[in-house]
Chains A and B, each alone.
Chain A
Amino acid sequence: MAVGLDFNGTAQQVNNFVSVSIQFDKPGACKARGSDLRVHFKFIKMKLDTSGLESTAPFFGSSNELLDGFSAAPFFEVPNTTNFDGFQKEAIQMVKPAKGTTTLAFIFKEGVMVAADSRASMGGYISSQSVKKIIEINPYMLGTMAGGAADCQFWHRNLGIKCRLHELANKRRISVTGASKLLANILYSYRGMGLSVGTMIAGWDETGPGLYYVDSEGGRLKGTRFSVGSGSPYAYGVLDNGYRYDMSIEEAAELARRSIYHATFRDGASGGVASVYYVGPDGWKKLSGDDVGELHYKYYPVTPSTVEQEMVEVAGA
């Protein structure tokens, strides 16, 4: 048997508990035989009910919390989300700096070709059109910059120091394998601390041309063709289509230049100047640095179109 009660009461929130005081109008009104007293409360605000986790209700900020951690009631708001399992990953993705750039490198018969754009962007704002994204580690090794400019520059210079020390100690140059391994180990030790580096180490050592991709997650891959950055899908399309192992240096340079140009055409975060470097047995050499705007008109020259209709003055009024 259910009994409905009218009550004048107050619902008061103390910490995470809602205390309800009930006053009965008429004494003895709830005397009922063999009935259960069910009380329904409607909670307006959703709070994580942690009453099961503790035994006593502490006052907010009381010294009880400091002395006895077990009985302190954890007080936190559940985040306003539907994706309870993945919201942390979403947060990381939100703050992760996107590598707004296009860099590429590939090995061919004559050596390694390295190319990059030169645009730096902060969200939608183009902060610079003339950034040097190909970093000279030493006379026979190059590194490319994608991700955080400061991170890339600093760690590449640091790698240059380590390579030089290795040379002095061992009386022979460090291999591209060794250099990339040193950088990858350093980046791995900073994993999770917010470094953003997506770089390629290209060079020529005793075993011939070498190309490695190293990133701030600690990954390191050996390969013959890489492109890194937001414009990389577009660059890959052109690069993979036109790549042949036995190209001449000029052909390879033109392929690299065109790949960068096409990436800058479609990707908003890439642009500026397409620089192309070549790494051969005697070290690296800068081949060209062309403004991509000019490259566009070189590849797609404007043809003067015939005038379809000439506008003539209408005679009279």
Chain B
Amino acid sequence: MARYDRAITVFSPDGHLFQVEYALEAVRKGNAAVGVRGSDVVVLGVEKKSTPKLQDSRSVKKIVSLDDHVALACAGLKADARVLINRARIECQSHRLTVEDPVTVEYITRYIAGMQQKYTQSGGVRPFGLSTLIAGFDPYTCVPSLYQTDPSGTFQAWKANATGRNSNSMREFLEKNYKETSGQETVKLAIRALLEVVESGGKNIEIAVMTKEHGLRQLEEAEIDAIVADIDAEKAAAEAAKKGPARET
């Protein structure tokens, strides 16, 4: 077993951990994911790549729940995601058992980030190749939270963030258009951000809404289509308004 103690993640002469940076590359190749925090909801959205005809699309769930009040969306290596999600789910229950309290979103984010960090400082293992967006409500308070972790093991709280493919353009869009929203407005904002980089249509987008009362709710394809139609209409109206007054003068 001594053979497997050689660390894979070692420092480069100029202070980089190349394995971690390569892991971030893997994340950049993963599907687009976005998260937006509203005043009373948190919305997670994921790009759904077209499923082959014979594949049962229900078995491919991109947004998962860790507990009744915490959900996770990720971008990157899906197999790594499965391992991380299982461990996080166990930790959520273990926390409930030892202190008779559900986890706070920050606690479970810290746990996941801690695990990702461990794999950058151990022998014979490679880092997890995924970034996660963790959304939820803290028990006993009505405060919604959105956190992001990455392969290096750091985590931050965000008002809105994107990861995965073309995350930069999504983030730019969010930075330009973010404002405090609630309920359906937050959902629209998330979908608009996702539509910047994804083909329009309900079958290419997966959206889940986390509320205090109802927990995690996955939106149906029809619902998403309706909202997309709304957004398109608004866009057209905005375009028309821009062109209209200009012609008159």
The interface of chain A, by Cβ under 8 A from chain B, is 166, 169-172, 174-175, 177-178, 181-182, 185, 206
Chain A interface SS verdict (over half)? helix
Q: Does B104 contact A (CB under 8 A)?
A: yes
Q: Is the CB of A170 within 8 A of B104?
A: yes
Given contacts A170-B107, A206-B140, contact A185 B100 (CB under 8 A): no
Q: Is the CB of B107 within 8 A of A175?
A: no
> Which of under 10, 10 to 19, 20 to 34, or 35 or more describes the interface residues of B?
under 10
Residues B110-156 near A (CB distance < 8 A): 110, 140
Q: Is the CB of A175 within 8 A of B98?
A: no
Residue ID in chain A nearest B95 by CB atoms: A178
Cα(A171)–Cα(B143), bound, Å: 15
Cα(A170)–Cα(B99), bound, Å: 12
Cα(A171)–Cα(B106), bound, Å: 10
Cα(A185)–Cα(B97), bound, Å: 10
Known: A170-B104, A182-B99. 9 other contacts (CB 8 A): A169-B110, A170-B106, A170-B107, A171-B106, A175-B100, A178-B98, A178-B99, A178-B101, A181-B99
Q: Is the CB of B140 within 8 A of A178?
A: no
Q: Hey, which chain B residues are within 8 Å of A206, CB to CB? A: 140
Given A169, A171, A177, A185, which contacts B101 in the complex, CB threshold below 8 Å? A177
Cα(A206)–Cα(B101), bound, Å: 12
Given A170, A171, A172, A181, which contacts B98 in the complex, CB threshold below 8 Å? A181
Residue ID in chain A nearest B110 by CB atoms: A169
Q: Total number of A-B contacts with CB less than 8 angstroms? A: 26
Write 5 A-B pairs (CB below 8 A) sorted by A numbering.
Answer: A171-B106, A177-B101, A178-B101, A182-B98, A206-B140
Residue ID in chain B nearest A185 by CB atoms: B98
Minimum CB–CB distance for B94 against chain A, Å: 11
Q: Hey, which chain A residues are within 8 Å of B110, CB to CB? A: 169
Minimum CB–CB distance for B115 against chain A, Å: 16
Cα(A171)–Cα(B145), bound, Å: 15
Cα(A166)–Cα(B107), bound, Å: 11
**Residue among B98, B99, B104 with most chain A CB within 10 A:** B99
Cα(A169)–Cα(B111), bound, Å: 11
Cα(A182)–Cα(B95), bound, Å: 11
Q: Hey, which chain B residues are within 8 Å of A171, CB to CB? A: 106
Residue ID in chain A nearest B139 by CB atoms: A206
Cα(A166)–Cα(B106), bound, Å: 13
Cα(A166)–Cα(B103), bound, Å: 12
Residue ID in chain B nearest A177 by CB atoms: B100
Question: A-B pairs with the 10 shortest C-beta distances?
Answer: A178-B99, A177-B100, A181-B100, A181-B99, A178-B101, A206-B140, A181-B98, A170-B107, A178-B100, A175-B101
Q: Hey, which chain A residues are within 8 Å of B100, CB to CB? A: 175, 177-178, 181
Minimum CB–CB distance for B195 against chain A, Å: 37
Cα(A82)–Cα(B104), bound, Å: 59
Residue ID in chain B nearest A206 by CB atoms: B140
Minimum CB–CB distance for A166 against chain B, Å: 8
Q: Is the CB of B140 within 8 A of A177?
A: no
Residue ID in chain B nearest A175 by CB atoms: B101
Cα(A172)–Cα(B103), bound, Å: 12
Residues B54-104 near A (CB distance < 8 A): 98-101, 104
Cα(A178)–Cα(B99), bound, Å: 4
Minimum CB–CB distance for A27 against chain B, Å: 79
Minimum CB–CB distance for B246 against chain A, Å: 53
Minimum CB–CB distance for A187 against chain B, Å: 14
Cα(A172)–Cα(B106), bound, Å: 12
